[in-house]
Amino acid sequence: MIDHGKKNILGVGVSAIDYEGAVAAVIAAARSGTAYKATALAVHGVMTGVLDREHRWRLNDFDLIAPDGQPVRWAMNFLHGTKMRDRVYGPKLMLEVCERAAREGIPIYLYGSRPEVLTRLESNLKEQFAGLKIAGARPSLFRRSSDAERQAIAGEIKASGARIVFVGLGCPRQEVWVHEYAHLLACPAIAVGAAFDFHAGLLSQAPRWMQDYGLEWLYRLNQEPRRLWRRYLLLNPLYVALFAAQMIRPTGFADIGERPVDHENYA
């Protein structure tokens, strides 16, 4: 098991951790009923923090930011000598946590996406993991929520008996949600991005060779060009340029961000 703490990638603290370490941390928090904020960030996720100081502060307040993308893992190895041999891919991490939760009888909750996605996701997870307890599921409102709605949603999740919450709202909304809700839930909340669509069988994942060579973004771009072209064609080159700058001047990325003034209650 590997867990070497957080390493600075462009001002965002990314965890030098493997699957075993990440699952162990989530399960330990679930057992103890402790608020625990977790996500897995690829290049786009890191860049949301680079370009927004308030969001950077949120990310740096997370307990776990797994290196989802190969370019993020490569940056950690080059900058910090972590010698990480694999990334910690959000969709796979979700399955690893579900497998452990099923084995230990820990109930989970699914928050986000659309009702039809959640229906298929629940069915597929129960088929894959015998004994997995899904305490509840709630689709996204696809808008910001009021403080009263936030309290009601958190109350519903707590009343379900869930001890791990998976959140699929898309980046960065899901990270905002986790940051705003985790302390209300008193359990791990894990942002898993497109994992809901992948595991519901509605979106295909890139071939393994493309994932290994850091080309998953190209596969996703081909799937959803209108939605994703700005994310990849603008942010990827900027990430490379800033990575080069951090290689030259590591202390130039010490700013951890600025605490948000207002709540952003995405739901």
> Does the structure show a pLDDT above 90 at 43?
yes
> Does the structure show a pLDDT above 80 at 267?
no
The domain segmentation of the chain, as residue ranges, is 11-206
Across the range 173-190, mean pLDDT stands at 95
98 secondary structure, DSSP code = H
Lowest mean per-residue pLDDT among 67-76, 209-218, 243-252? 209-218
Give which of 211, 214, 178 is closest to 193, Cα–Cα. 178
The pLDDT > 70 percentage for the chain reads 99
> Does the structure show a pLDDT above 90 at 176?
yes
> pLDDT tens digits for 97-123?
999 999 999 999 999 999 999 999 999
Confidence tier at 204 by pLDDT (50, 70, 90): confident
Q: Does domain 11-206 have CATH number 3.40.50.10660?
A: yes
Confidence tier at 145 by pLDDT (50, 70, 90): confident
How many other CB atoms are there within 10 angstroms of residue 238's CB atom? 14
Q: Which one is predicted more confidently, 156 or 3? A: 156
> pLDDT tens digits for 217-260?
888 888 888 888 888 888 899 999 999 999 999 888 999 999 98
User: DSSP letters of 139-196?
Assistant: ---SSB--HHHHHHHHHHHHHTT-SEEEEES-TTHHHHHHHHHHHHHTSEEEE-TTHH
> Does the structure show a pLDDT above 70 at 266?
no
Confidence tier at 75 by pLDDT (50, 70, 90): very high
Q: For tokens 């839930």, name the residue.
A: 185
Q: What is the pLDDT of residue 188?
A: 98
Q: Mean pLDDT of all residues in the chain?
A: 92
Q: Is 0.85 topped by the overall pTM?
A: yes
205 secondary structure, DSSP code = P
Q: What is the pLDDT of residue 251?
A: 87
Q: What is the pLDDT of residue 67?
A: 96
Beta strands in 74-132 (DSSP E): 108-112
> Does the structure show a pLDDT above 80 at 5?
yes
